[in-house]
């Protein structure tokens, strides 16, 4: 089976500015660990302060882009994956393009002349991370770019689509175009809950995309927020996963499968009204570097097997493998070659 262009991701390409900080820094900028938010005015000076005060690393990031790169790494077939998003015409953007191409991803960035490439502060304390995204150019993506023949060709070619929920804040119109194409052509469309704030404040565009989702990914915190927002009055992740899988679907070709990660606790997969739990690979605390990109890596690993039509347990196993590799390194980075058997 030809894998070239089989998987297309669309999202917010961001450069991660990552540093191990301290509790005072978190307090000063009102940052909660294990959270992801959009930068507000109070965070404006934070990026410079991080760079001045701590040992900072710059790593190509953005949730969807991370997942696509990890899938590409595990597939080891150049150009098996493609990615669309908006960057600025600047050194960060150039760096990102170079990075992604080296990784084997076929990137079609929309370049915004007037806005800098988006960044994401990754604040790490005790191995746990918090993300504060300054979208900048990533926020400027337009569906006109997607409709251009050379970009829409990527949509036509792909059989699987993955978009993190974060893109709902940028271009719901682009998401609908891809979702409708997938439904009309019996392709597989997948999204991620991505963050509590998406479930809370972008409920409408999320609701509109939901019927098209064949797979819904998320973590336990996001699942519980989703439940609360929908008035389900349950905190039980297994129940929530089943309820999400049973929400109405636009097309009957594929049943919906919900995949919820729970940190060190088992991965919860819901389909056909029942849940299967898959244990993760446990890691001794002293080997944990940071959890930045762990969820994205899980999805990337999962997708690398899904596009090869492997069974769910293999998809989950690859997801757990990828997440385990990534949490032992800084940011969403990986060794040159995978050793996933």
Token code pair at residue 35: 């959270």
| Residues linked to residue 134 through DSSP beta bridges, in sequence order | 119
Residues 6 or more apart whose CB falls under 8 angstroms from that of 201 comprise none
Report phi then psi at 75, rounded to 5.
-75, -35
Report phi then psi at 9, rounded to 5.
-110, 150
Angle at 184 between CA 178 and CA 185, to 5 degrees: 90
Q: Which of 22, 290, 296, 339 is catalytic?
A: 296
Angle at 261 between CA 56 and CA 289, to 5 degrees: 25
Q: How far is CA 182 from CA 51, 159, 301, 312, 326, in A?
A: 42, 8, 21, 20, 30
Contact 155, 178 (CB under 8 A): yes
Decide: helix, strand or coil at residue 215.
strand
C-alpha 134/C-alpha 142 separation (Å) is 18
C-alpha 189/C-alpha 209 separation (Å) is 10
Token code pair at residue 159: 């059989």
214 labelled catalytic: no
Which stretches within 76-233 are classed as H helix? 91-102, 143-147, 149-157, 172-184, 196-201, 203-209, 220-229
**128-134 and 119-125 as β-strands: parallel, antiparallel, unpaired?**
antiparallel
Nearest-CA neighbor of 161 among 2, 6, 308? Answer: 6
| Catalytically annotated residues | 296
């Amino acid at each position: 089976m030809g894998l070239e262009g089989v998987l297309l991701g669309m999202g917010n390409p961001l450069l991660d500015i990552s540093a191990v900080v301290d509790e005072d820094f978190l307090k000063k900028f009102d940052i909660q660990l294990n959270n992801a938010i959009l930068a507000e005015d109070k965070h404006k000076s934070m990026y410079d302060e991080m760079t001045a005060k701590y040992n900072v690393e710059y790593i190509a990031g953005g949730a969807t882009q991370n997942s696509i790169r990890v899938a590409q790494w595990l597939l080891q077939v150049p150009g098996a994956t493609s990615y669309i998003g908006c960057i600025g015409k600047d050194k960060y953007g150039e760096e990102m393009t170079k990075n992604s191409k080296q990784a084997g991803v076929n990137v079609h960035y929309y370049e915004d002349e007037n806005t800098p490439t988006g960044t994401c502060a990754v604040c790490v304390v005790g191995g746990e991370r918090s993300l504060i995204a300054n979208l900048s150019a990533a926020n400027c993506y337009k569906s006109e770019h997607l409709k251009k023949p050379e970009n829409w060709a990527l949509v036509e070619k792909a059989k699987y689509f993955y978009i993190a929920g974060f893109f709902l804040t940028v271009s719901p119109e682009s998401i609908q175009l891809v979702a409708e194409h997938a439904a009309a052509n019996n392709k597989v469309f997948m999204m991620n809950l991505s963050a509590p704030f998406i479930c809370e404040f972008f409920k409408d565009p999320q609701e509109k995309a939901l019927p098209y989702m064949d797979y819904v990914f998320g973590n336990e915190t996001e699942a519980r927020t989703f439940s609360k927002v929908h008035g389900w009055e349950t905190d039980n992740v297994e129940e929530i996963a089943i309820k999400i899988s049973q929400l109405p679907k636009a097309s009957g070709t594929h049943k919906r499968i919900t995949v919820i990660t729970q940190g060190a606790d088992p991965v919860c997969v819901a389909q056909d009204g029942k849940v299967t739990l898959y244990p993760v690979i446990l890691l001794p605390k002293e080997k944990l570097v940071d959890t930045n990109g762990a969820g994205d890596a899980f999805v990337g690993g999962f997708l690398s097997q899904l596009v090869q039509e492997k069974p769910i347990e293999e998809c989950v196993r690859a997801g757990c493998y990828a997440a385990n590799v990534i949490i032992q390194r800084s940011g969403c980075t990986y060794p040159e070659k995978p050793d996933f058997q």
